[in-house]
Chain A
Amino acid sequence: MGGTKSRFQTTHWSEIRNAGTHDEARRRIIINGLIKKYWKPIYCYLRRKGYGNEPAKDLTQGFFHEIVLGKDIVQQADEAKGRFRTFLLTALNHYITSVHRANVAGKRHPKDSIVSLEEFDEESMSFAAKDMQPEDVFTYVWASVLMDDVLAEVKKCCFRDGKKVYWGVFRARVLDPIVTGVEPITVADLCKRFGIKNKVKVSNMIVTVKRRFQAAMSSRVRQHVDSDEEVKQEIQDLMKILSKNCAI
């Protein structure tokens, strides 16, 4: 897992600038990576903007096909700085405007689908994001995709390193209470459940996994911002946006 201090950290900015390469295979890999990360936030943003299911799918496909796979986004990235998610949203809004201006919405989408939108669990999204502004929906879904990636990576690393119990302890004490709302298990009960002899060891296990989580999160967020210093700020900003939408 990478940390935040990697001097040669690959960011989405550098990736997208590299996407201007004439090496078609490499370009395709880079673009596919971006599509994988961003199609859900974009589709959900469009739905929240009021587009129906099919028009939103068409616009999502069209955006990736015309703007991302085309070289427009590479040119725009050359001139842009700042947060990648903001940049992408701006590019998307420009695209929507251009589609409307041409008054050909629904006709511009490519014949070949780039991403599969079929498996998307629209119901769960609409439940969670029912009162959010479109921009906040984009951020929410983006943060969710980010979180899924981080959790999967941390779990995988724990299992790979023979720390399956560490993951179990972290999950029972930290994750499950947040995700499912169950009562957090006490450290004493964790000791019993996992056959751990002392409480300090349990605490240390949680700290170890949290550190892995922090490193994985920092590494991924670093891809979206200009500098190491902005990583913490970006996470705080995400928390603020999400907290703003808490049902109180």
Chain B
Amino acid sequence: MSKDSTLGLNPESLARLLGIALYSDSGEGKDDSAHTTAQLLKARLAGTLPLDTTVVEELPAILGQLRKNLMPLGGRTLGEVLTDPKSDLGAIKKIRRYAKKMASRKRTEADRAVAVAIYYAAIASALVFHDMKITTHSYESLEASFAKLINKPWMSAELNSLFVRALRLCRKKGHKSKS
């Protein structure tokens, strides 16, 4: 691209520039780590790249594979797949698997936090929309994990409400299994 034009910029970067117009600035005034995590989570949920590259370097490797698997399902974003009651359970399981791999890689704290959030979001989605527990974690353990994730300063509203619903469900099912 020339100095004064974005023409020639790769489409991915142009998409990210457009993204600046979409996302709220809730994290910007907060500390760097919360902001970074919030941006990364939003970007991953949108299926496009973040507003700035504080967090972008590793995305093609991780998100790329994920998108290859998910986009044929209708071109929906990761966020849409996770929060749509009609999403295929197989797709949800794939997301969980990839997120687990993402979390196990030694990267930044923000990367790990986002991977863990997506991992638990997939589990929550399967629980809430398919009544399926796609993990060996107990309901008690899941309840504790969802509770930790809810209201994180960087959490997106869509995942937050998913975790709230999943937590209630776990509490109910956990009590049932005890009685």
Contacts and interface: CB of A to CB of B under 8 A. Distances in A.
Task: Among A141, A147, A183, A213, find the residue whose CB has the most chain B CB atoms closer than 10 A.
Answer: A147
B138 interface: no
B14 A204 contact: no
Interface stretch (A70-78, A92-100, A238-246): A238-246
B interface: dominant SS: loop
A232 interface: yes
A interface: dominant SS: helix
Interface residues of A, number: 57
Nearest to A204: B29
Interface stretch (A8-16, A57-65, A83-91, A119-127): A119-127
A17 interface: no
A74 to B, nearest CB: 29
A144 B15 CA distance: 10
Interface string B5-37: 111111111111111111001001110100100
A227 interface: no
B50 to A, nearest CB: 9
B64 A248 contact: yes
Given A184-B53, A211-B25, A247 B12 contact: yes
A145 B5 CA distance: 8
Interface of B: 1-2, 4-22, 25, 28-30, 32, 35, 46-49, 51-54, 56, 60, 64, 67-68, 71, 75
